[in-house]
A and B are shown apart, each in its own frame.
Chain A
Amino acid sequence: MPAPCTPSQTVGPFFSIGLDHLNRANLAEGSVGERFAIRGRVLDGDGEPVPDAIVEIWHADAAGHYHHPEHVSPPSEATSFLGFGRIPTDERGQFSFTTIKPGPVHGPDGKPQAPHLQISIFMRGLLKRLMTRIYFPDEPLNASDPVLQVVPELRRDTLIARPTKQDENTLEWNVCLQGERETVFFDC
């Protein structure tokens, strides 16, 4: 019987040395689809900004296709979309990135999931990564999304990006590690 999974350890404060080479805040480059930007902040239990976090993004292309061998479906014109991004937070705990809106990916029962981004968060003080999702506001499929359905209704809005005054293609999504508005994190 092989050993169980190697334990996770924190990225610590100096991860930029090894991880910066993959920093990518514009996932949309060279891809088709509706462009939008997400901006937000990572806040700790005191509401203080976390200046040493890293946010990783994984999502499907505009046709709802993942650039991955396990997603077997007819290739779409968007297949050059890699779907990966990595952004460190700045001194004020802020991050922002630009990407394309993913299409609906089919869920476990064959019905479509609402468009969403898969998010991993790492930082000093986190002994293992946090996993969460970003959903879109005013998206009819949110009502039947199989993952949102298992989240208590009162906490669902922590997963849904909010419109901003800036423009209709800029959304805000914050990560609260603790507190009344604690973001929903997943075990998957």
Chain B
Amino acid sequence: MKPLLGYRKPAPGTQPSYLYPPYVSSIKRAPKQPLISIPVTLSEITGPTFLKEIASPTAFDLTRQHKGEPLGERIAVSGRVVDEDGRPVQNTLIEIWQANAAGRYLHKNDQHNAPLDPNFTGEGRTSTDDDGRYRFITVRPGAYPWKNHYNAWRPQHIHFSLFGPAFATRLVTQMYFPGDPLLEFDPIFHSVPDEAARRRLISSFDWLSTQPDLSLGFRFDIVLRGRNATPMER
């Protein structure tokens, strides 16, 4: 039978370790035993596929989910999802969530003393097209304080969840904004050791997706794991 091709392991330093003590919550939740490397089986190279309908035609626009428009700076966030060989990841579900423009999440556990916006939930989803492209319309999320250390603030960010073609390619990450002065102090951002890899979490201002009289544009390209070329690669 044909040998199965697995997915490439990440290059050293390009992914965070589980334990990163400056991010205090990782201390009691990071496993202490090393991960166990397993042979490639069908169970890792398959994964859930969702019908396009799971992302309704309006779910990509977070500014049109309520009667009125949300407060804040309207932005388009768009980009391409490719694998490490540059191939588009087609028709894959992307889920996003974020704080509102004041830096408050619509969540019972968010105690930050900033106003909720009755016209903003902060939830979006879409599916990439045949070229791996996606686009969301939203408002720029605010920075907000958290309890990790004294005077800790999270930089402005949008959470992204992607499936890709396989169980092995599942990715949850965060998109940041260029020039955010809080990035320098953020332990979650800095949990990625490699500087070049870390910088890929920062979107770029995208003049081309800026719409006159409507919205600024940011570009965030996402790379999912590539496939091994031969069954022997580990």
Contact = CB atoms under 8 A, between A and B. Distances in A.
Contacts of A9: 16, 159, 172-174, 188-189, 191, 201
Contacts of A125: 23, 25-30
Contact of B9 (A8, A50, A82, A187): A187
Given A4-B223, A9-B172, A118-B43, A186 B35 contact: yes
Query: What class of interface size applies to chain A in its complex with B?
Result: 35 or more
Contact of B46 (A56, A68, A128): A68
A151 B97 CA distance: 37
A16 B110 CA distance: 12
A92 interface: no
A58 B50 CA distance: 13
B126 to A, nearest CB: 12
B14 A45 contact: no
A70 interface: yes
Contacts of A123: 29
Interface in A115-161: 116, 118, 120, 122-131, 133, 146-147, 150-151, 155
Contacts of B26: 125-127
Contacts of A82: 48
Contact of A15 (B97, B125, B197): B97
Interface string B185-219: 00011011000011011000000000000000000
Interface in B114-130: 121-125
A95 interface: no
B184 interface: no
Contacts of B225: 5
Contact of B121 (A4, A10, A17, A146): A17
Interface string A61-94: 0000011111100000000001110000000000
Contacts of B33: 155, 182, 184-185
Contacts of A69: 49
A22 B167 CA distance: 16
B31 A185 contact: yes
Interface string A3-44: 111111111111111110110000000000000000000001
Contacts of A22: 54, 95
B159 A18 contact: yes
B45 A150 contact: no
Contacts of A3: 84, 200, 223
Interface of B: 1, 3-4, 6-7, 9-11, 14-18, 20, 23, 25-33, 35-49, 54, 82, 84-86, 95-97, 99, 105-107, 109-110, 121-125, 159, 161, 165-168, 170-174, 188-189, 191-192, 197-198, 200-201, 222-226
Given A17-B97, A150-B37, 19 more contacts: A5-B225, A7-B15, A7-B173, A9-B191, A21-B95, A44-B28, A58-B47, A67-B49, A71-B42, A107-B39, A108-B3, A113-B41, A125-B30, A126-B18, A126-B29, A127-B16, A147-B41, A183-B31, A187-B36
18 contacts: A4-B223, A7-B192, A8-B16, A8-B173, A14-B110, A18-B95, A52-B109, A58-B43, A67-B48, A116-B43, A125-B25, A127-B26, A130-B31, A150-B36, A178-B28, A182-B31, A185-B35, A188-B7
